[in-house]
Amino acid sequence: MSSSSVLEEIRRAEEFLVVGKGVRRIDALDKVTGRARFTGDFVLKDALHVRLVKSPIPHGRIIEIDAERALSLGPVRFFTAADIPGENQVGYALPDQPLLPADKVRYVGEPVALVAAPDEDLAEKAAELVEVRYEELPAVFDPLEAMERSDVLVHEDRGTNIAEMTRVRKGNVERGFEESDVVVENTYRTGHQEHAPLETEGAVAIPDTQGGVTVIASIQYPHLCQRITARVLGLPHSMVRVVQPYVGGGFGGKDDMGPVVSAMAALVAFKTGKPAVLVYSRRDSFTSTCKRDPSVVRYKTGATRDGRLKAIEVQIILDSGAYANRGPYVLWRATMHAGGPYEVPNAKVDGFLVYTNKVFEGSFRGFGNPQVQFAAESQLDELAERLGMDPLEIRLKNLLRPGSRTITDQLLESSVGIYEAVKLLGEKTGFRAKWREYRRERAGRVRRGIGIACGYHGISTSRGVPDWSNATVILGRDGSVTVETGICEIGQGSWTAHAQIAAEVLGVPVERVKVVGGTSDAPDTGATHASRGSSIGGIGVYVAARRLRERLADAAARLLECDPSDVEIREGRAFRRDNPDDYVEWEELVQAAYGMGYEMSATGYFFLPKGKFDMERGLGYAYPAFSYIANVAEVEVDLETGKVRVVRVWPALAAGRILNPVLVEGQIEGAIAQGMGYALTEELKFEDGRILNPNFTDYLIPTSLDVPEVEEPIYVEDLYEYGPFGAKGVGEMALIPTPAAIMNAVKNATGVRITEIPATPEKVYFALRRAGVVAGE
Amino acid sequence: MLPEFEYHRPASLEEAVRLLSELGPDAKVIAGGTDLVVKMRAGLVSPRHVVDLSRLTEIRFIRDEGDRLKIGAGTTLWEIENSREVARGVPVLREAVEEMASWHVKTTATIGGNLCNASPAADAAPPLMVHDATLVVVGPEGRREVPIGEFFTGPGQTVLGVGEILAEVVVPKMRRGQGAAFEKLTVREGALSIASAAALVEISGGRFVDARVALGAVAPTPIRALKVERALKGRPATREILRSASREAKADIKPITDVRGSREYREEMSVVLVRRALERAVERAGGAWA
Amino acid sequence: MRAGGGGIVVRFTLNGREVEVTTRPNATLLDLLRNELKILSVRRGCETGECGMCTVLVDGLPVRSCLMLAPQVDGRSVTTVEGVGDPERLHPVQEAFVEAGAVQCGFCTPAMVLTAKALLDRDPNPDERTVKEAILGVLCRCTGYAKIVRAVRLAAERVAGGVRE
Ligand SMILES: Cc1cc2nc3c(=O)[nH]c(=O)nc-3n(C[C@H](O)[C@H](O)[C@H](O)COP(=O)(O)OP(=O)(O)OC[C@H]3O[C@@H](n4cnc5c(N)ncnc54)[C@H](O)[C@@H]3O)c2cc1C
Ligand code: FES
Ligand code: FES
């Protein structure tokens, strides 16, 4: 089926039976009854429990690892780099990351060895008794310093601490600034963010009888786990089977950590012939898993008197920590989104990914974009201020529309709903009136403010990086429907959306559809990240279901003695369009189709068409489409303590078709809470590379009493031609503009621009002091 | 993983004291365990014996004795939060308890545990200090009474000797003309204090007849702010005097920088919290600003 | 009562049934439930008392099972979500969670359901603030709590409104 005909059909469809409805999650029953099983629940008899031996220093050579005392405790096994049968390499973008380091450690918390024992306490005690001797090396923690230094290198063989550089050169920025009437320049800083899924990372590996292993793990991409685990064990991919049980939250972290943890557990299982369980403690999850990259963004914006953006010049520095991991991709995404969802004729962006001796960074909801949108959207308000405009006005002047070009000079022909979304949002919230009123009032010790920020997020992988969708749909003899996909269910509800798509296309109730996902047994559907689970992931389901639907229509036509084009299949019945009373039941139809020789399983595959991208100038086709979001936030600022409370948030989303409004609302509400935590309370504190608060006692994620009221979202359904029913991605969206929306509201309330997040009470208080808004006590 | 220990569950307070003196310094008492278990898991304490007080009904009560309230050390924070006697007699304690931890923690956490754990940030301490509470301690030598101001000796340190148990807290109730309030500053709801303050004032004839102020998390132990108190007592109850007296808090405290906040921030916030607590206390005392 | 390294017998009521188990004295209630009794809906999220994933009801009130020693539960009554309802007979709270879309990854769900049940057993008609205060001790990283709060209030309406006995 050609893609244009898919689009045609979607456009024609006026009304859906299942799609677009708040269909109940297919996994809800398992979850409310406590029957849902997570990785740590699969502790098999005879299993070995695995514990990490971690580096206590930020940088040093490993001189000797002595496990004698640990081994003397009892039946303890012990593994180092030397035990790895295959390739000791788990680096994602660059081959810089060993599973277990052989020569040196690069951050506090880096696992240097594994200990396994039949009982947990023994494993833990043994891990504590392993003695590692190091020759300490000088360490570097600040990315700005690390960029300049070549005497302290996190990776000597690279000759520099700069892991990756990116750039965009569009138009002529010098001229752009010359033509500008106002120019605003600021430096923005963002901190680490820990994913803090309530279920920590974990994997259970079980040796099989053919010399391979089966891994049950908390993951976001089974085929990547399979590849990395096979590489570490020196096995063909086919010898490693990966299955996800239920996953207790991912947010990107388990995309990166899933393969690492799986490979560790698999190593133990492979070497011992016994099942091995490795579940990270909360502390491990803080000290030894990737985080959101901290950033320093220097941002210069120019505009004419009437508020039109003329030029931006941006420098993005991402602190990658000890390894590059996804960093180069994160940096590319940050770079290409640096302009915000606006028309900017001249753009110069330079990105740097820098190694330091801290825990490594990685994928996290938003993937580099929240960092730059925080800067871009703060800048826009500062610009508006200088121009005497209000924040809504300046945005409406510059927002992307169909026919606009992005900062990579990509032409956006369609599916650009942000302008309409912002307009509606402005009206719904009464933004202008409130913004003026709060600005005028500014009295008392608790001040109110309102702020707006937008965001956009490219769907699919960046640039020309290949992306595809793939799924299998199988009809059982009894008419039951099985969807097989590599997409993982990590809480976002993709499997429910998949079931809805299959049900809608086939014409059966959702309850008939079972989704088998998150396994390497299914086709490689790519990762469950980049908001692609339901959107890109769903295309394969759509295509496969279409194939079956055509065959069924054919079979039904033979039974009903009519033309296939006259057959309608709905709600589990096939009938003649002109005579609904002349029908066959679904089960009957499927059985008959089997008897007539129709193949009752089909694969659906779709390779996303992508354009050219010029890496030298950073111009060209960046993404097949973008999802768009705008948030308005209302806050209260306690001037005397610096405490910011977010009272209410109004989201507006332009992400194509809304497949399931209940799921989408859930994603928005969750993302706003996570974005608020990122903006206000979640702060990892370091001392010489060591995390001082590796726990929920002092790393503070939002509670029920902290979260704002989230108003019903505005949806602008700007359909995307290759999305299933026109859907684009949703999962990451609402987090992206949240920090800027909050800080813009703080500015409205206090007149003070906060350029660094998390804006903890202490930081806000001293910023207000410096600005003279409050005096010292 | 918790350290290995022997578990003991004495049937009476007397048996508990006897057991503790026999076992010596290797024994630790457990009540709700919400501090002790966390510390044991972190390897900060590794007792060989754990003596469970959580079933001793003898130390689990709230009794109204006219002008004072007696609260058994084994009373849970949840019971205190829901006690009408506490709400009426020592409302500032209730206010503090409301802001502590979460329901799930408070159902087992005890007031005795909060005090004996002796965290500088123990939120129950400042309210009890402004009420001039007395702690009743039982031990091998019998019973003794310790004013709360003398109970804490350092972070995690109290005057309790081997074999001694905190049995009850005796709190003089609020009197007519008095008002009290508690203020707690955290980065997030339900988190531990960056700083906290309790104030109790008595106003008569437009003057501060009495003023008591205590702070948490800004010194090695919860402390009374005596300089603030001196700057108030006998002076007219005006906002200006209250403001300038609050500033004395900086001289009363000895804050440190830690993950929850810097020394500088704690200094500033001590003043803010003291002022806010005092203002609300004055309003509750009848609201008669001079 | 006294018990050392070898083991200690603990008798208590688990979801309405008497159980007797031998456990290490230094095991927590969480260890006992998960490792010995295989009650896997009680989850390990932090073991420092902060996250609430290990929530169970003891004599009807929510507690942190990761901070309670196993022997401390002797003679008491413990409820886990298995004792609240099953797929055939869901408790109104569970029904409301399904309907309101209050479930995402599901890791926190048993703790939320138990907390909501304990709340509604004491206060059949809580306002929004009361619900939020009750679940303060259970973190959820997925939902932003909005639909969880709505679900608890929906359950309250149903129960109070006589939709269910
Ligand atoms: C998630 C969480 C949040 C928290 N939030 C707060 C908060 O907001 N504010 C706050 O102040 N605290 C907080 N705490 C700390 C703790 O909950 C309280 O201090 C609680 O009151 C301790 O009581 P417990 O009965 O659990 O003490 P336990 O842990 O049982 O005991 C604590 C210490 O006191 C000793 N002890 C206990 N009872 C006696 C007694 N009768 N005689 C002699 N010694 C005794 C024990 O040996 C131990 O050393 C929090 C804890 C957690 C886990
Ligand atoms: S596991 Fe008990 S509170 Fe987190
Ligand atoms: S649903 Fe995932 S933690 Fe609550």
Residue C71 CA to residue A71 CA, distance in Å, equals 32
- The domain boundary, picked from B157, B174, B191, lies at B174
Is C155 part of a structural domain of the chain? Answer: yes
Query: Which domain CATH number covers B117?
Result: 3.30.465.10
Q: What is the mean pLDDT of residues A218-227?
A: 97
Helix and strand numbers (H, E) in chain C are: 5, 6
Distance of CA A420 to the CA centre of its chain: 26
- Nearest-CB residue to B187 (from A705, A760, A776): A760
The reported pLDDT for the residue numbered B107 is 98
DSSP-derived letter for residue A335 is: H
In this structure, are B32 and B113 located in the same domain? yes
**Could you tell me which residues come within 8 angstroms of residue A535 by beta carbon, excluding any fewer than 6 positions away?**
A459, A656, A720, A723, A724, A727, A728, A729, A730
Query: What is the mean pLDDT of the segment spanning A248-274?
Result: 97
Cβ <8 Å between A33 and C82: yes
Containing structural domain, residue B114: 1-174
Select from C81, C95, C104 the residue whose CB has the most chain A CBs within 10 Å, as the one to mutate to test that interface: C104
Residue C110 in contact with partner chain B when CB distance is under 8 A: no
Would the pLDDT of B9 be above 80? yes
Q: What tokens were used for A31?
A: 């979850």
The residue among B42, B39, B18 whose CA lies nearest residue B30 is: B39
Q: Do C47 and A282 touch (CB under 8 A)?
A: yes
- Helices A431-441, A418-429: inter-axial angle, 10-degree rounding: 60
B48 and B164 share one domain: yes
Q: How many CB pairs under 8 A join A and B?
A: 51
Choose the residue to mutate in A38, A198, A200, A365 for probing ligand 3, maximizing ligand atoms within 8 Å of C-beta. Answer: A198
Torsions phi, psi of B285, nearest 5?
-75, 0
Number of domains in chain C: 2
Q: Which of C29, C41, C54 to mutate to test the pocket of ligand 2 (most atoms within 8 A of CB)?
A: C54
Residue C4: pLDDT band with limits 50, 70, 90: low
Give the model's pLDDT for residue A7. Answer: 44
For residue B40, is it within any domain?
yes
Count of CB atoms situated within 10 Å of the CB of A292: 29
DSSP state at residue C36: I
CATH number 3.90.1170.50 given to A39-137+201-279: yes
Residue B289 lies in a domain: no
Same domain, B170 and B184: no
How confident is the model over A186-191, as a mean pLDDT?
Answer: 98
Of C80, C106, C134, the position where a domain reaches its end is: C80
> Can you tell me the mean pLDDT for C90-115?
97
A736/chain B closest Cα distance in angstroms: 22
The values of phi and psi at residue A401, to 5°, are -140, 170
**β-strands A309-321, A295-303: how paired?**
antiparallel
* pLDDT number for residue C1: 60
Query: Do B265 and A703 count as a contact with CB atoms less than 8 A apart?
Result: no
How much distance in Å is there from the Cα of A252 to the middle of ligand 3? Answer: 15
pLDDT at residue number A20: 78
Determine the pLDDT at residue A14. 52
Q: From CA A121, how far away is CA A279, in angstroms rounded?
A: 13
CB pair distance less than 8 Å for C2 and B8: yes
pLDDT tens-digit series, residues A578-625: 999 999 999 999 999 999 999 999 999 999 888 899 999 999 999 999
Mean per-residue pLDDT, A306-333 = 98
Q: Which of C80, C102, C127 is the last residue of a domain?
A: C80
Does residue A758 have a cis peptide bond before it, meaning omega lies within 30 degrees of 0? yes
In chain C, residues with a C-beta closer than 8 Å to the C-beta of A705 are 132-133, 136
Cβ–Cβ contact B108 with C under 8 A = yes
Structural domain span for residue C57: 8-80
Which residues are registered as beta bridge partners of A656?
A727
Which atom of ligand 3 lies closest to the CA of A249? 2
Q: What is the DSSP string of B248-282?
A: THHHH-----BTTB-HHHHHHHHHHHHHHHHHHHH
| Percent of chain C with pLDDT strictly greater than 90 | 90
Shortest Cα–Cα distance, B34 to chain C (Å): 6
Cβ atoms of A330 and A318 closer than 8 Å: yes
In this complex, which chains have at least 3 CB pairs below 8 Å with chain C?
Answer: A, B
Say which residue, A6 or C155, is predicted with more confidence: C155
- B108 pLDDT more than 80: yes
Task: Looking at the structure, tell me whether residues C106 and C54 fall in a common domain.
Answer: no
Q: Identify the chains in contact with A, defined as 3+ C-beta pairs within 8 A.
A: B, C
> Domain with C31 in it: what CATH number?
3.10.20.30
How close A703 gets to chain C, by Cα (Å)?
Answer: 6
pLDDT exceeds 60 at position C51: yes
* pTM for the structure as a whole: 0.96
Shared domain for C97 and C159, answered yes or no, is: yes
Nearest to A326 by CA among A122, A553, A164: A164
Q: Which CATH number covers residue C113?
A: 1.10.150.120
CB A674 within 8 A of CB A649: no
Is it the case that residue A2 has pLDDT exceeding 60? no
Rounded Cα–Cα distance for residues A438 and A450 (Å): 8
> Is residue C22 less than 8 Å (CB to CB) from chain B?
no
Is position C2 within any domain? no
Domain boundaries, chain A: 3-36+468-607, 39-137+201-279, 295-463+614-770
Please state the atom number of ligand 3 nearest to the C-alpha of residue C141: 3
- Looking at domain A3-36+468-607, its CATH class is alpha beta
- Indicate whether C86 belongs to any domain: no
User: pLDDT for A495-539, tens place per residue?
Assistant: 999 999 999 999 999 999 999 999 999 999 999 887 788 888 999
Nearest-angstrom CA–CA distance, A692 and A160: 28
- Cβ distance B277 to B249 under 8 Å? no
Q: Which of B201, B211, B171, B202 is nearest to B66 (CA)?
A: B171
Q: Is the predicted pLDDT of residue A326 greater than 80, yes or no? A: yes
DSSP B85-143: HHHHH-HHHHHHHHTSS-HHHHTT-BHHHHHHHT-TT-TTHHHHHHTT-EEEEEETTEE
pLDDT at A706 over 70: yes
Q: How confident is the model at residue A44 (pLDDT cuts 50, 70, 90)?
A: confident
**B157-158 and B62-65 strand pairing:** unpaired
Q: Are residues B144 and B206 located together in one domain of the fold?
A: no
Q: Tell me the chain A residues in contact with residue B265 when contact means C-beta distances shorter than 8 Å.
A: 762, 765-766
**A670–C141: do the CB atoms touch at under 8 Å?**
yes
3-state secondary structure A664-705: HHHHHHHHHHHHHHHHHCCCCCEECCEECCCCCCCCCCCCCC
Q: Is residue B23 very low, low, confident or very high in pLDDT (cuts 50, 70, 90)?
A: very high
| Domain termination site, one of B140, B174, B208 | B174
Same domain assignment for residues B160 and B24: yes
Could you tell me if C71 and C96 lie in one domain?
no
Thinking of the domain A295-463+614-770, which architecture would CATH place it in? 2-Layer Sandwich (3.30)
Pair B159, B219 in one domain: no
Ligand 1: does its nearest atom lie under 6 Å from the Cβ of B29? yes
* pLDDT confidence tier of residue A4, bands split at 50, 70 and 90: very low
A114: helix, strand or coil:
strand
**In A201-280, beta strands by DSSP E:** 202-207, 213-217, 240-243, 276-279
Domain closes at, from C80, C106, C129: C80
Query: Hey, are the CB atoms on B7 and C67 less than 8 Å from each other?
Result: no
| B185 and B162 in a common domain | no
Give the ligand at the shortest distance from the Cα of C28: 2
A372-376, A494-498, A697-701, B232-236, range with the lowest pLDDT: A494-498
Q: What is the mean pLDDT of chain A?
A: 95
Written as six digits, the tokens of A662 are: 């209940």
A155-167, pLDDT tens digit by residue?
A: 999 999 999 999 9
Looking at B152, B174, B196, which one is the last position of a domain? B174
CB B166 within 8 A of CB B250: no
Q: What is the dihedral of CA B91, B95, B96, B100, to 10 degrees?
A: 140
Which chain A residue's Cα is nearest to C138?
A703
Say how many domains are in chain B. 2
Query: Would the CB of B105 count as within 6 Å of ligand 1?
Result: yes
Q: What is the CATH number of the domain that holds B219?
A: 3.30.390.50
**CB-ligand 1 contact for B101 (6 Å cutoff):** yes
Residue C115 located in a structural domain = yes
Question: Residue C164: is its pLDDT beyond 70?
Answer: no
User: What is the rounded average pLDDT of the residues A229-243?
Assistant: 97
Closest-CA residue of chain C to A279: C44
Cα B83 to chain centroid, rounded: 17
B6 and B129 together in one domain: yes
The three-point CA angle A59-A65-A68 to 5° equals 150
Stretch A208-234: mean pLDDT: 96
- CA A623 from centroid of its chain's CA atoms: 16
Return the best residue to mutate from B8, B13, B29 for the ligand 1 pocket (most ligand atoms within 8 A of CB).
Answer: B29
C97 shares a domain with C118: yes
Provide the β-strand partners of residue C14. Answer: C17, C78
Is the pLDDT score of A12 beyond 60?
Answer: no
Residue A442's pLDDT is: 83
pLDDT at residue C5 is higher than 90 = no
pLDDT at A464: 80
Asked whether the beta carbons of A224 and A527 are under 8 A apart, the reply is: yes
Separation CA A396–CA A398 (nearest Å): 6
Of B187, B259, B269, the CB nearest to A681: B187
Q: Given a cut of 60, is residue B17 above it in pLDDT?
A: yes
**B149, B206: one domain:** no
Same domain, B193 and B270: yes
What pLDDT, in 10s, does the model give residues B112-125? Answer: 999 999 999 999 99
Output the CA C102–ligand 3 centroid distance in Å: 9
Cα B129 to Cα A242, B61, B101, C11: the distances in Å are: 59, 20, 20, 41
Contact B9 C64 (CB under 8 A): no
